[in-house]
Amino acid sequence: MITPHPQEGSFRLFKFRNIQVSVHWSWLIVAWFQIQRTQASREYLNPVWAAYEYLALFGIVLLHEFGHSLATRQVGGRSDNIILWPFGGIAYVQAPPRPGAHLWSIAAGPLVNVALIPVFWILSWWSEHYTESYELQMLLHSIYRINWVLLIFNVLPIYPLDGGQILQALLWYRLGYARALLIASGVGIAGTLALGIWVFSSFHSIYLPLMLLFLLINAWSSFQRARQLLTQGPPQDS
């Protein structure tokens, strides 16, 4: 995946289990615009609720990335940095070059979202039955939906999303690393283009097209890398 170095243009927030969490400066700019947009679409009476919703979004993203990092360490890999930026979060992981290790380190992220579903459902139900605050009810309902959207989006078989990397890890067992990467990134290119057609015809947002462009660039880069590995021979296919 084409990603910036974790410390380039980022500010350190905190450390947990020796994993440095940072935020990229561009996140702060996009956050301001997205909070304004959320306020307009949700019609919160106080804009601070829109800020809470945006922070909750990235709180879920951060838990997701910690799932990747801690799972990578479980299989003997390394993960020391997580960075938050406008398109989500990036856990810088180095899993051992085995399909099983790679599969667990990737699958652990979406599994965090799965574990959060009952938590947010209970909170949403509680707010609906035991609070009279319209803003709190709307906030907790939105967080519940956000977690579902993040889960579904991440498991799409579009490389380099988690679903695409899970596909690669599964193919790796039978086809080797390079061929698996070639197929997964090829599916990712096709999937991104198909998703792009739907987004452009259904949404009027600059944010989603930019995210799709990022995915397309990464999928194409991985596709080219896989082709290079295949022409160099089988050493990487173990």
Convert the pLDDT of each residue in 82-91 to its tens digit: 999 888 899 9
Of 116, 131, 155, which residue constitutes the final position of a domain? 155
Residue with tokens 């082709």: 227
The whole model's pTM is what? 0.86
Task: Lay out the sheet containing 19-24: strands in order across.
Answer: 10-16, 19-24, 78-85, 88-94
Task: Please indicate, yes or no, whether residues 146 and 50 belong to a single structural domain of this protein.
Answer: yes
Task: Please indicate, yes or no, whether residues 17 and 111 belong to a single structural domain of this protein.
Answer: yes
Task: Please indicate, yes or no, whether residues 52 and 130 belong to a single structural domain of this protein.
Answer: yes
* Range of the structural domain that residue 116 is part of: 1-155
The reported pLDDT for the residue numbered 206 is: 62
Task: Please indicate, yes or no, whether residues 24 and 72 belong to a single structural domain of this protein.
Answer: yes
The reported pLDDT for the residue numbered 205 is: 64
Of 155, 183, 209, which residue constitutes the final position of a domain? 155
Distance between CA atoms of residues 5 and 65, nearest Å: 16
What percent of the chain clears pLDDT 90, i.e. is strictly above it?
55
The reported pLDDT for the residue numbered 211 is: 75
Mean pLDDT for the stretch of residues 223-237:
74
In this predicted structure, the answer to whether residue 7 has a pLDDT above a threshold of 70 is no
How many independent structural domains does the chain possess?
A: 2
The reported pLDDT for the residue numbered 232 is: 81
Residue 233 has which token pair?
């021979």
Convert the pLDDT of each residue in 44-80 to its tens digit: 778 898 899 999 999 999 999 999 999 999 999 999 9
181 Cα distance to chain centroid: 19
The reported pLDDT for the residue numbered 204 is: 60
In DSSP terms, which residues pair with 28 in a beta bridge?
none
Convert the pLDDT of each residue in 12-52 to its tens digit: 999 999 999 999 888 888 888 888 888 877 777 788 988 99
